[in-house]
Structure 1
Amino acid sequence: MTGKISRRAATAAILGAAAFPSVIRRASAAPEPPNILFILADDMVFRAMGCAGNSEIETPNLDRLAREGTRFTRCHVSNPICTPSRATILTGQYGCRNGVTFFGMPIREDSPRLPRLLNEAGYHTGYTGKWHNNSRPNQHGFQHMRHVFLGGMHGYDDIPVVEHADDKPSILTGQPSTVFTDAALELLQGSLQEPYCLFVCHKAPHDPRNPPPEYEAMYPPEKITLPPNFMREPRFDPLTLHIRDELLHPRPFDPELIRRETGKYYGLISHLDSQVGRLLDHLEKSGQLERSVIVFASDNGLTLGAHGLLGKQTLYEEGVRVPLIMRGPGIPAGRVCDALVDLMDLFPTFLDFAGAPIPAEVQGHSLRPLLAGEKEEVRDSIFCHYEDYFRMVRTPSHKLVRHLKTGREELFELEADPFELQDLSGSPEHTRLRKALGERLDRWRKEIEAV
């Protein structure tokens, strides 16, 4: 699954390919459906793991998951902000279909809900951690709630949580990643019976970035290397510099400040990794590890100085590309999968593991054919959108980003230019490719976004 294709073959495939990948629908019933433990980070870029080739960050438990399972290198979100991204996991649909394209928007009543369908398949469903969608988890089908944070961001010394359908938040003292993991362990040791699907949704490493002191000390600024696409200011104004995330630090960026913030960011991730280890230890000691599918992902990424930006409200890879690791029965160990996948693909994948039918209105694709080696791809394109600012189409080899407010386009050859430093949109050699990708994006907008 790590094989590469030539640039010529990649370009030919783009020029000749259909607009959308064929839809794969499976419901492979297993004799004993596995437990599903889903761990979600918040604002974690895909490169921030040792197993992803980052030698400066310590993530031994995520590295273990990758070593014992399959790591997807090209997982994307269709919208790079928390609320819409999390809604795609719950519904298996683009935000333009489920009704959630920005903060504060409710999921449509007629959109499917993953926990409800898993309940119907005989699963016991539970939720702990950050909930950034409308209502509360139980109103979307989760049967068990414990320490649920209703909101987008908060500090790391305490956390306001709810426990039921209508109680008022109470403040719990403690580092939120620890608090949420405590809640997960309470559910696993108590009311959550097998087979279960448990969501453990963290707020780390979202700002404000204040990790436990011993974790911050792991990453002194002088040991942090800035990425090749670090810029003190953007190359051009994307018209999003007024957004809250982009105002956290003054421009032009001080490289020393970005190193310090990156160290704090890494500290939060390493602490989160330690909490993943606590869950793995429990599953191992309880005998559940080998009958459980464990999935780790993030709701979006973060630029943190890349391209002269700070936030995630961008369609550069730092905003829309996220980690995804799976470990469990039927999942190859030590595999690296380069296929294009979307976070919404978790919806049908979880149903597939459960042996449950996948509703026709689901727009995600089960990843089990990739895991089983039956398919090399389930998508030939990824489509992303952010408000009325940007639209994007990405293939295995190239990406086109369209700036809706200015008409500007950016074209990148990602294998040769993984940090997106060379815009090829003005290159005569790439005129046909740019046109083909633009037409593909137009078809998606007409057939999917406009519906």
Structure 2
Amino acid sequence: MTARPNFLFIITDQHRADHLGCYGNGVVKTPNIDQLAAKGTRFERFYVANPICMPNRASIMTGRMSSLHGARHNGIPLARNHTTFVELLKDAGYRTALIGKSHLQSFTGLPATNVFTAEEGKQAPSASLRDAFKDNRHTEDYELENTRHWETPVASRLSGDFYGFEHVEIAAGHADEASGDYLLWARQQRADFDDLVGPENALSDHRYQAPQAWRTAVPEELYSTSWIAERSQAWLEEQAASDQPFFLQMSFPDPHHPFTPPGKYWGMYSPSDIDLPASFGKGDLPPLLAMRKALEEGTDPRDNQSPFAVTEDEARSIIALTYGMIHMIDDAIGRVMASLESLGLAGNTVIVFTSDHGDYMGDHGLMLKLLLHYQGLVRTPFIWHDPQHPRDADCSTALASSVDIASTILARAGIQEFNGMQGRDLLSTSAPEAVLVEEDSQRTMTGFERPQRVRTVITERYRMSVRHGEDWGELYDLENDPDELVNLHDDPDHAAVRAELTDIMLRRMIELQDRAPLPAYRA
């Protein structure tokens, strides 16, 4: 019997597909990730199930859409009674580890904006009856990633595994403000570490003028990217002598904002070398116009998680700094790949690379994420590198989704899926006629009068997005308009296309309705 493969599953955060050399970017240098694609399969049309961190990470873990696992937006953790594919690997004898960002639970500790509000003149339900779920994920089991209570390593506070991971070392947060187990370690290395982080402690450098950008005083060796690589290398060394297969999830908080590449990575790319997206400043959707107006009037704070408009100079600076963060990640991945080689593990370790979602990065003049499902946000990299089945720079143009990751890994490991998993094995099954993207926001943002509920369907040629409570929608011909500049939603000549896409969306939504739980009887 052939030995079961090991897996190194690499996830970056808020990383567009076209911000890699192997996806056609001629500026950012990613030779190690490109090497994986050169002897593996690069998926050209890989889409998120949800373009927000927690929901899509939960979809990756479960192989299920966010409307089913319930983590619809940031702030709702993945329920501990939902089965993950990592638990199946552990059940089959795999050693499992998570090093880096998890974000299956909330880490900010900030109060929610969407809360139960008692109605005047009515008797409010008791506290335990105010939600459709009595187990509403507000217990101590879901406080494990809350950075406001992170005084000891998460492993010391666990009872059993963490969503199937036996070994857990977490970096919560992002950039030079990352925290969690990583921060505990950093403070052990330098007693004054807290005096190195944040904009108030930034080094003086005015080459990059942009929101949420500062030159961190944290040295490269103490930055979260370096810590994640080093801890991954250490864990791999511990596994080298064992006959048991392993699954290691190595998860980087970067290149998510704020934009703070440390050391030499800060000045590695010049804004003058950055070309703006073809769509920069274009488009007339209501929120685009509102965000541009807010930029002109200076009414948008641009210091939080909400999308915002930028100037050309700001966009070039942010993209250049993001390339520095990606370059650092690629260097870190190269060191871990070298460890696999030196430990004799490379020949039987499948390496998978992806991101949890993308970023506008200047598309239509915007930055960050949320609410508008342009390709830069919903399309992510996905690379499958299997040394037992090498490919010569293979490229798949089939439609694929984050929910497919679990099924593909389990199939390669020879493990049967659980009932209710919705993805497909990307290496042996045919693509669907469409992929579905879900998003449910919990607060209003610039350009939107109400929290948004959006459903997007993407076919081989088109992308259509439908919004609850709005009188406008989106329809783009990706074949003739890859930059999504011409909205055909209300074009009479495309009424038939819109009707066909509506039918496809409805059928796909029916297909993605839950098939769990299994019945106890035939009743």
Scaled to the shorter chain, the TM-score interval is 0.7 to 0.9
1:78 & 1:295 partners in 2: Cα distance?
18
Query: Per-residue deviation at 1:252?
Result: 5.7
Residue aligning to 2:90: 119
Q: CA deviation at 1:191?
A: 5.0
Matched letter for residue 130 of structure 1:
K
Letter in structure 1 aligned against 2:414: G
| Greater C-alpha radius of gyration | 2
Question: 1:67, 1:59 → 2: CA distance?
Answer: 12
Change in 2 beyond 3 A, CA 1:405/1:37: same
Q: Does 1:88 align with 2:59?
A: yes
Check 1:245–1:94 CA distance in 2 against 1; reply closer, same or farther (3 A cut): farther
Q: Aligned partners of 1:117 and 1:251: how far apart in 2? A: 41
Secondary structure (helix, strand or coil) at the match of 1:56 reads: coil
Partner of 1:207: 257
1:332 deviates by 2.1
Structure 1: stretches of 5+ with no match in the other structure: 1-29, 370-374
Q: CA deviation at 1:129?
A: 0.3
What does 1:126-275 align with in structure 2 at a 5 Å threshold?
Answer: 126-134=97-105, 135=142, 138-146=161-169, 148-149=170-171, 151=172, 153-156=173-176, 159-162=178-181, 171-172=186-187, 174-191=222-239, 193=242, 194-231=244-281, 235-237=285-287, 253-275=310-332
Shift of 1:308: 2.9
Distance 1:238 1:363, change over 3 A: farther
> Is the Cα–Cα contact under 8 Å of residues 104 and 133 in structure 1 kept in the other structure?
no
Cα gap change, 1:285 to 1:450, in 2 (>3 Å): closer
Tell me the distance in 1 between the aligned counterparts of 2:26 and 2:175: 28
CA distance, structure 2, for counterparts of residue 423 and residue 246 of structure 1:
30
Q: Distance in 2 between matches of 1:285 and 1:410?
A: 51
1:237 partner SS: helix
Three-state SS of the structure 2 residue aligned to 1:362 is: coil
Q: CA deviation at 1:128?
A: 0.4
2:110 corresponds to: none
In the alignment, is the contact (CA less than 8 A) between 1:245 and 1:310 conserved in 2? Answer: no
1:209 positional shift: 0.5
One-letter amino acid matched to 1:438: T
Indicate the structure with greater strand content: 1
Could you tell me which runs of 5 or more consecutive residues in structure 2 were left unpaired when the two chains were aligned.
106-141, 145-154, 156-160, 188-192, 194-221, 295-299, 441-451, 516-523
Whole-Å Cα distance in 2 between the matches of residues 244 and 295 of structure 1? 37
Q: Matched residue of 1:197: which SS? A: strand
1:60 aligned onto 2:60: no
Out of 40, 45, 58, the residue aligned to residue 74 of structure 1 is: 45
The aligned counterpart of 1:311 is 368
With over 3 angstroms needed to count, the CA separation of the structure-2 counterparts of 1:203 and 1:252, relative to structure 1, is: closer
Q: How far, CA to CA, are the matches of 2:302 and 2:65 in structure 1?
A: 24
Match of 1:430 in 2: 494
Distance 2:306 2:71 in 1: 29
Deviation by residue 1:176-234 (Cα, 9 ceiling, x = unmatched): 11111111011001157441000001101011101124223221111110010111786
How many pairs are equivalent?
A: 408
Residue matched to 1:356: 415
Aligned to 2:433: 380
Distance, in Å, in 1 between the alignment partners of 2:349 and 2:489 is 46
Report the RMSD for the aligned CA atoms in angstroms.
Answer: 2.6
User: 2:350 is matched with which residue?
Assistant: 293
CA distance in 1, matches of 2:180, 2:284: 38
Question: 1:249 and 1:385, CA in 2 relative to 1: closer, same or farther beyond 3 A?
Answer: closer
Q: 2: distance between equivalents of 1:419 and 1:160?
A: 37
What whole-Å deviation, never above 9, does each CA across 1:273-322 have from its counterpart, x for those lacking one? Answer: 11110111111222211211000100000002212321221311111110
Q: Percent identity?
A: 30
What CA deviation, in whole Å up to 9, does each residue of 1:34-87 have, x standing for no partner?
100000000001100111111111111111111111100111111101000100
Residue in 1 that maps onto 2:211? none
Structure 2 counterpart of 1:22: none
Do the aligned partners of residues 450 and 431 (structure 1) sit closer, same or farther apart at CA in structure 2, a change above 3 Å counting? farther
2:398 is paired with a residue whose SS is strand
**Are the structure 2 counterparts of residues 109 and 338 from structure 1 closer, same or farther at C-alpha, using a change threshold of 3 Å?**
same
Report how far residue 448 of structure 1 moved: 3.8
Describe the shift of the 1:306–1:184 C-alpha distance in structure 2 as closer, same or farther (beyond 3 A): same
Taking the aligned partners of 2:368 and 2:513, their CA distance within structure 1 comes to 24
3-state SS of 1:39 partner: strand
1:145 partner amino acid = V
Q: What's the secondary structure of 1:190's corresponding residue?
A: helix
Report SS of the residue matched to 2:9: strand
Describe the shift of the 1:229–1:284 C-alpha distance in structure 2 as closer, same or farther (beyond 3 A).
Answer: same
